[in-house]
Amino acid sequence: MTMEAPVDRRDFFSQLGLGTYSLVVLAGEAEAQSRAPSPADFDKIAPRDAGFAAAERHMREVLLETDVLVAGGGLAGVCAAIAAARHGARVVLVQDRSRLGGNSSSEVKMHVVGANQHTGRPGWREGGLIEELRLADAVNNPQRSWELWDLLLYDKVVSEPNITLLLETTVFSANVKDGRIAEVAARCDKSEHLYRIRAGVYCDCTGDSRLGLEAGAEMRSGREGRAELDESLAPLQPENRTLGSSILFTSRLYHNPMPFTAPAWARKITKEQLKHRPVASWEYGYWWIEWGGDHDVIGDNERIRFELLAIVMGVWDYIKNSGDFPDSRHWAMDWVGMMPGRRGSRRMLGDYLLKQQDLMQGSFPDAVAIGGWAMDGHPPEGFDRPDLPPNTVLRPPEVYEIPLRSLYSRNISNLLMAGRNISASYVAFTSARVMATCAVEGQAIGTAAAQCREARVSPRELARDAGRMAKLRQTLLRDDQTIKGLTNQDPLDLARRARVTASAESGAAKAALLLDGHVRDIPDERGDAAEVHHWAAPVDEGRAAWVELRWDRPQRIGEVQITFDSGFKRQLTLTSQEAQNVNLLRAPQPETVKDYTLLAQLADGTQRRLATVKNNFQRLKRHRFEAAEMQSVRIEVQATNGDALARIFEIRCYEVGQTISL
């Protein structure tokens, strides 16, 4: 294992010299909105009158000033940017590739998994932004196109008025003063621009901790020795080896026989090499085609790409031409990755280092997210250790908590991180690295970044202040982030003071549970509700189900938030693997309310229709309208997406524009 000391701060900025174009990224409204970017938005990032950088005279130089800079547009970065933007922060999101999504994009095609462990821990699908993305993808992309997943992420990001997106732009330098990042530099060679980006808070979601590296954040790579943290899964001695990278492929069944000739440089694969690596199907490559964990996974990227492609071609050659798989005769590859999907590299050090014991039984007052994937270690040599199974797993008994203190740098005061680069031991990282977990960490730090900027405090100051931590956690919960055991304590939620009645109640799913503070059922081992926290009532054609909140005195209400059921019992992801795809629905989830009307009785006794919704498929819905004094609010459900019961977990009511203040 290596400890990387803070690097010398390269004063790139002073070299840039003259020619600076200054610009302030305009703040949009504080609430999440959907709108197409205007041409003026693009003028901001490519202004015609921008001068040329002194250091690179063909590159135009642009200064962007913003509240939050997010480096890296994988799922951690996308969720961080959206969360910060929806909480009113101006955000610049910098992604070095043309597609968002990181390893989940069409460039790598890794399916997103998380706390529910495919189907291993049913009922624990994460809520929040990742659920919003998963539901939208399942409905709009039943054909399972990876490129449409990329497009969905692009759509979500460009539809946020507070986000300025810089694609094909790489963060490559940081200017640090007094332990704070003052400015970062990024370059886009496609458009020949150099960016200087100034923000109050910075988020490193690059996977490789590139921003942290440039800023001199303390970090480590490799594996801790067992003595350091007393982790049973750690090697006896520390070592500078980690998980390898992988390249996936997809293949399709054709009408005609499809011959395959391997390139000369493909490896010759033997049956012996596949002893622990079963080939059960071949439509979606193999995560165990892994290599390079015993090399420099960043510096040796080109070598790793070559070796992985040589193994991919060799394995496909074996499937097609060895005679062991005659059923593959009509199959042909239709896509091969060219980018090694990276699992592990540098991890930054925060105020807390998450470790194996925390995943087995941990609890944190500053918990802001959950994980649940097994600790999933692989031999660093990957495919070159055919004598070993490709992984060994230890499953945390329950979903575990991730503290905010593992999501900010311990020595760079305005730097947060989310993704596979959080402050975790190697053993804990082997679980927390999966992408739904990265996404919920992203939502947590984006929300934290917005609150840091608003309160003018550092992430550490936020974490150490019980009041601010409570506000952050309640804000996350309001946004449907899953935080174990946390219930709605928001004093501004007017629904908590209401009486609730309903058209009917189905079994244990009582109407009063709408206001019990929980936004999900607690599942048993099969994913059924061991603890019920939702209301349910029969609904069919001609018979609406309704639930009503009523107050003794009229309340001024401008926003109603509803959390529906979206079938957490099933897994939901985009995958090319048929064995996984059969377990999920690429459509609206049947449990979710589809058509509903939101009605109010005003203080003067008149009725007002607040909203009419058709074809809903989302779990969390917010309705904002002109605030008025209301005696009651009623939700009338006309149809679900298939289920016989209308189900709702929670209803909240607010005055418009209020934020949580505890």
Applying CB under 6 A, the residues found at the interface with ligand FAD are 71-77, 94-97, 102-103, 110-113, 170-171, 205-208, 210, 245-246, 287, 341-343, 419-420, 433-435, 438
d(CA 632, CA 69): 42
Report yes or no: 511 and 499 within 8 Å, Cβ to Cβ.
no
* Closest to ligand FAD by CB, 159 or 391: 391
Looking at beta carbons only, is 169 or 616 nearer to ligand FAD?
A: 169
Q: How far is the CB of 74 from ligand FAD (least distance, A)?
A: 2
Question: What beta strand segments (E) does 140-291 contain?
Answer: 163-166, 170-177, 180-188, 193-198, 201-204, 219-221, 245-246, 249-253, 290-291
Q: Give 87-99 as a DSSP string.
A: TT--EEEE-SSSS
The Cα–Cα gap between 130 and 440 comes to: 7
Please report how close the Cβ of residue 368 comes to ligand FAD at its closest, in angstroms: 16
Task: Dig out the tokens for 636 from the structure.
Answer: 């009338």
Residue 139: phi, psi to the nearest 5? -80, -45
Measured from the CB atom, the residue of 245 and 616 that comes closer to ligand FAD is: 245
Q: How far apart are CA 367 and CA 503, in angstroms?
A: 37
Indicate the residue among 215 and 502 with the shorter CB distance to ligand FAD: 215
> CA nearest 621: which of 589, 594, 659, 586?
594
Q: What token pair was written down for 163?
A: 């986000």
**Quick one: 118 or 652, whose CB is closer to ligand FAD?**
118
Rg (CA), the chain: 25
- Token pair of 615 as six digits: 């074809």
- State which residue, 208 or 490, has the beta carbon closest to ligand FAD: 208
Distance CA 278, CA 386 (A): 12
Q: How is 333-358 classified by DSSP, letter by letter? A: EEEE--SPBP----EE--SS-B-HHH
Please calculate the CA angle 575-578-583 and round it to the nearest 5 degrees.
Answer: 80
- Distance, in Å, from the CA atom of 39 to the CA atom of 27, rounded to the nearest integer, reads 16
- The closest of 460, 492, 459 to 652, measured between CA atoms, is 492
Least distance to ligand FAD, CB of residue 517, Å: 30
Which DSSP symbol is given to 27? Answer: P
- What does the buried/exposed string (b/e) look like for 510-520 if buried means 16 or more CB atoms within 10 Å of the residue's CB? bbebbbbbbbb
Q: How far is the CB of 630 from ligand FAD (least distance, A)?
A: 42
With contact defined as beta carbons under 8 Å apart, do 186 and 206 qualify? no
Residue pointed to by tokens 């067992």: 226
Structure tokens at 642: 């298939």
Min dist. Cβ of residue 616 to ligand FAD (A): 27
Helices 129-140 + 146-158 axis angle, to 10: 130
422 or 477: CB nearest ligand FAD: 422
Min dist CB 583 to ligand FAD, Å, is 14
Q: How far is the CB of 510 from ligand FAD (least distance, A)?
A: 36
In angstroms, the CA 419 to CA 76 distance is 5
Of the two residues 343 and 652, which places its CB atom closer to ligand FAD in the complex?
343
User: Smallest distance from the beta carbon of 402 to ligand FAD, in angstroms?
Assistant: 13
Closest of 120, 21, 108, 96 to residue 62, by C-alpha: 21
Contact predicate 552/541, CB 8 Å: no
Nearer to ligand FAD, 341 or 446 (CB): 341
If the CB atoms of residues 16 and 537 are measured against ligand FAD, the closer one turns out to be: 16
Q: Which residue number, 341 or 386, has a Cβ lying nearer to ligand FAD?
A: 341
The helix (run of H) or strand (run of E) holding residue 392 is: strand 392-394
- CA 70, 568, 528 angle in degrees (round to 5)? 150
Min separation Cβ 114 and ligand FAD, Å: 7
> Measured between alpha carbons, how far is 23 from 13 in angstroms, rounded to an integer?
17
Nearer to ligand FAD, 155 or 595 (CB): 155
Task: Give the nearer residue to ligand FAD in terms of CB position, either 56 or 595.
Answer: 56
Closest CA to 472 of 354, 365, 621: 365
Distance CA(429)–CA(222), nearest Å, equals 11
* Three-state helix/strand/coil letters over 611-626: EEECCCCCCEEEEEEE
**Residue with smaller CB distance to ligand FAD, 378 or 652:** 378
Q: What share of the chain is helix, strand, coil (3-state, %, to 5)?
A: 25, 25, 50
Core vs surface per residue 155-168: b (16+ CB within 10 A) or e: ebbbbbbbbbbbbe
Identify which of residues 343 and 471 has a Cβ nearer to ligand FAD in the complex: 343
